[in-house]
Structure 1
């Protein structure tokens, strides 16, 4: 069911890019489609029963060399039986979100500059005026 809703989101964005003639609506449709793609990758990467890849240790007043030995022996025994999620896909998704936001901002600036020259945001009218 969740896969179907993600697919519907991507398809709504895709058809919005194709059928909408307003440039701002095309940008919004691209954002909807990229949100659906990111949601799809998050859906693929989510596995039940895995822990977050954040491991923290509580420091005590024990000598640092003794504490490192205790931590290494504890990590050998208990860490091997736990299943941790891979942090790389999470970092890639965060990077994709930031890049998508910056591209959307640049497209909006381009549309603002284009709207100064042309009083409309309809791509058909802009193409007709630019055609020699």
Structure 2
């Protein structure tokens, strides 16, 4: 059930990027998709019966690998900075255009 919710989150973000025409909605959809991918990674990396690697004299069994946790924290920080950069780009476009609709921006700036 949890896997289905994570997959639905990724799909909602993906379809939002494709079908939404407003740039801010595309940025939000990209953030939703990123959150779903991170949740999928956490879901796959988490397993029952693993202990945190804390120094102690007793042996508790298998230890959890801290590398996936570091990768996820890095992905969250990078995702936040990319989202902030995209929002700054959208603000610069909003200064020159009366709307943030992709079709109208493309019509105003032919390449």
- Structure whose alpha-carbon radius of gyration is higher: 1
Same fold (TM over 0.5): yes
Report the counterpart of residue 93 of structure 1 in structure 2: 72
Q: How far apart, CA to CA, are the structure 1 residues paired with 2:34 and 2:52?
A: 25
Report the counterpart of residue 50 of structure 1 in structure 2: 50
User: How many angstroms does 1:7 deviate by?
Assistant: 0.3
TM-score (norm. length: structure 2): 0.95
User: How many angstroms does 1:56 deviate by?
Assistant: 3.6
- Structure 1, unaligned stretches of length 5 or more? 58-73
Do residues 129 (structure 1) and 99 (structure 2) align?
A: no
5 Å-filtered alignment, 1:55-66, equals 55-57=54-56
Query: Which aligned segments of 4 or more residues in structure 1 are displaced greater than 2 angstroms?
Result: none
Report the counterpart of residue 61 of structure 1 in structure 2: none
RMSD: 1.2
TM-score (norm. length: structure 1): 0.80
